[in-house]
Each structure stands twice: as structure tokens, then as C-alpha cells.
Amino acid sequence: MNFWAFNSSNPTLKFGEISNSSLQSISDPDLQHFLAQQSQISGISGILITNTILLLPLIWIARRWRLPFGSFTILLSLPIILMGVLDVDFKMSIIGIVSGLAADFIYKIWRVTPAIRYKNHAVFTMVPFCLFSLYFLDLQIATSGIVWIPVFWGGSIVLSMLSGLVLSAFAYSKPPKHVNMSILN
């Protein structure tokens, strides 16, 4: 399963391009519709997994220290550049660099520190918005267009933003109070 969103052109593929040659001869429209939906669900889950892989290191580091300028750029663009090496396709690298720079500027302008939780939550909600908005914009411009309906590609941007918010909320939650286990014995 290809879970890496930036190595997949799933949102731009039509049904005949998604399926292999044995499935192209399916004449049942309900089955074709079902298979197309499964491809879209796979694409959205790939976006959410990619978002988690990219954000978790940033959230864990930002929870402890104030990030220097360029941290978002390096940690967002480096995995995307390395995935581009595999396909010798570096057009998605620009997305990682631009969204990383945007996140660095937001982080610096808002003067985010580990102690101010709501600013961290806002930053880690904005990072997926920048990243995946640019991703879908690039797919729309560079290819023949996005085949997904706006509910799917717009919803995947919103879901990635919500997953960034949830991940940062979990990371910045207070640890539970110590429970005295001696009274339970």
C-alpha cells in the first residue's frame, strides 16, 4: 500500500487509470462506483497518514523547546525531497519548502513558545492547511486536474487540519495525576 500522499497521483486518476486491466472490463456501474470510492478513501487515508508522519516529530520537539527558524522547512521538505528521489520527480519538493517556510514565518510572527498551548495548536492546524492546499493546487495546475469532487479534496484538507489539532492537543495535554497504588492493595 502506498501511504505516502506526495508519491501518489491518486486525486488525479480516473477509474480506468486506477484499476488494473482485469478490472477495466467491469460493466456493473455500482461496482465501478464502489471501486472509485475505495480509491478515494485510500487517498484520504494516505493524506492523513502522511500528515501524522510529518507532524509528530515537529509536535514532540515543539512541546519541549522553542523551534529555531527553518525547523519546519527542514522537517517538512526533507522527507518530500527524499521521496522525490525515488521517482526522480522533484516538483512536490517545492510544496514542502514553501509550506515549511510559511509555517516558520507563522511560528516566528506569533512568537510561539511551548508554554502557550493555544498558539501551538493554531500553528499545527495551519501547517497541514498550507501543505495540502498547495498539494492540491499543484495537482490542479500541473496535471489534467483533480478528478475528486470538491467534498473529497476539500474534506481531506479539513481532516488533515483537524488531525494536526488533535495531535497537538494530545501532545500538550497535562499528564494524569499520580495515583497512589498502595491504597488499592
pLDDT at site 60: 92
Whole-number Cα distances in Å, 76 to 20, 34, 100, 104, 153 = 33, 34, 6, 11, 20
Render pLDDT for 48-89 as a digit per residue (tens, 0 to 9).
Answer: 999 999 999 999 999 989 999 999 999 999 988 888 888 777
Integer-rounded Cα radius of gyration of the chain: 20
pTM of the model as a whole: 0.80
* Contacts of 11 by beta carbon, 8 Å cutoff, 6+ apart: 43, 136, 139, 146, 147, 148, 152, 153
Average the pLDDT over each of 49-58, 70-79, 108-117, 136-145 and give the range with the smallest value: 136-145
Residue 1's pLDDT band (cuts 50, 70, 90): very low
When pLDDT is averaged across residues 84-100 and rounded to a whole number, the result is: 85
CA distance 127 to 76: 9
